[in-house]
Amino acid sequence: MTTRKPLIAGNWKMNLNHFEAIKLVQQLAFALGDKDFNKVDVAVLPPFTDLRSVQTLIDGDKLRIVYGAQDLSQHDGGAYTGDVSGVMLAKLGCTYVTVGHSERRQYHGEDEDLVNAKVQAAYRHSLTPILCLGEGLAVRQEGGHIAHSLGQLDGALRKITAEQAKSIVVAYEPVWAIGTGEVATPEDAQEVCGALRVRLAELYDPEVASAVRILYGGSVKSGNIAGIMAQPDVDGALVGGASINAGEFTKICRFSDMPG
């Protein structure tokens, strides 16, 4: 059985300018120590325009925080105005890139084929995709949340080999819980994360399934993280709003000290 080191990733979304980005990373660096990093991997996912500042700080001071981007192009270069490629992100030292976030699916019409193409683009440049998926409210109310999430997983992993899949991070983010304060119960999170792991074993093998880190995302805060992290198939959190507050994010990274 593989032991999966928890991952707490902060998705800053379209917040913070590069000065504020530097301040937040410095605050995290001051607050978090070796003890924390031995227990948990901490990642920040700033907007593209903050990546260079964050890279300079993290690499220059050899901080143990890793960083990544919130999206990438399915193309590697060329006449694609406004796009940012995996080549560019790799050159900036990014470890992670989120793919298929519900806000991309909803506001930019990203469908299953595009999400799959972006997962492939991430692997072409040795970036680790954080594949986001999860159902909306209507699907949840009809009880279709598991089938919906598994369908999104299947679609995103087409043409992805077992060797590649082993390193993917999957983030279950029920859309109804994002930015609403409406957090899924720990049991809700476990139900879908557990089903995703079973599907990974079916698509690949048990070794892949036990290696993959599956995160929960949706209104994660210091007050609810401990209960979520206590679930056997939840290996971390993808944090939105609370990730741009240094105090809150630090407490989330120290989830084992928080009341359950």
Ligand X SMILES: O=C(CO)COP(=O)(O)O
Active-site positions read 101, 173
Helix (H, G, I), strand (E, B) or coil at 138: helix
Provide, rounded to whole angstroms, the least separation between the CB of residue 95 and ligand X.
Answer: 16
- Is 28 or 208 the residue whose CB approaches ligand X more closely? 28
Residue 140 and residue 241: Cα distance in Å, rounded?
23
Provide, rounded to whole angstroms, the least separation between the CB of residue 13 and ligand X.
Answer: 7
User: Look-up: residue for tokens 């080999």?
Assistant: 161
Provide, rounded to whole angstroms, the least separation between the CB of residue 79 and ligand X.
Answer: 30
With beta carbons less than 8 A apart as the criterion, state whether 177 and 220 touch. Answer: no
179 annotated as ligand-binding: yes
What are the angstrom distances between the C-alpha of 222 and each of 46, 144, 247?
20, 29, 9
Provide, rounded to whole angstroms, the least separation between the CB of residue 20 and ligand X.
Answer: 17
Provide, rounded to whole angstroms, the least separation between the CB of residue 125 and ligand X.
Answer: 21
What torsion, rounded to 10 degrees, do the Cα atoms 102, 103, 109, 113 define? -40
Q: b/e for 92-106, b at 16 or more Cβ within 10 A?
A: bbbbbbbbbbbbbbe
Residue 260 and residue 254: Cα distance in Å, rounded?
12
Bridging pattern class, strands 41-45 and 236-239: unpaired
With beta carbons less than 8 A apart as the criterion, state whether 105 and 139 touch. Answer: no
Amino acid in the structure at residue 42:
V
Number of CB atoms found within 10 A of residue 50's CB: 24
Q: Give the residues lining the site for ligand X (CB under 6 A).
A: 11, 101, 173, 178-179, 217-220, 238-242
Residue 55 and residue 40: Cα distance in Å, rounded?
20
What is the C-alpha end-to-end distance of the chain, expressed in Å? Answer: 26
Name the closest residue to ligand X (Cβ). Answer: 240
Q: Which residues are annotated as a binding site for substrate?
A: 11-13, 179, 219, 240-241
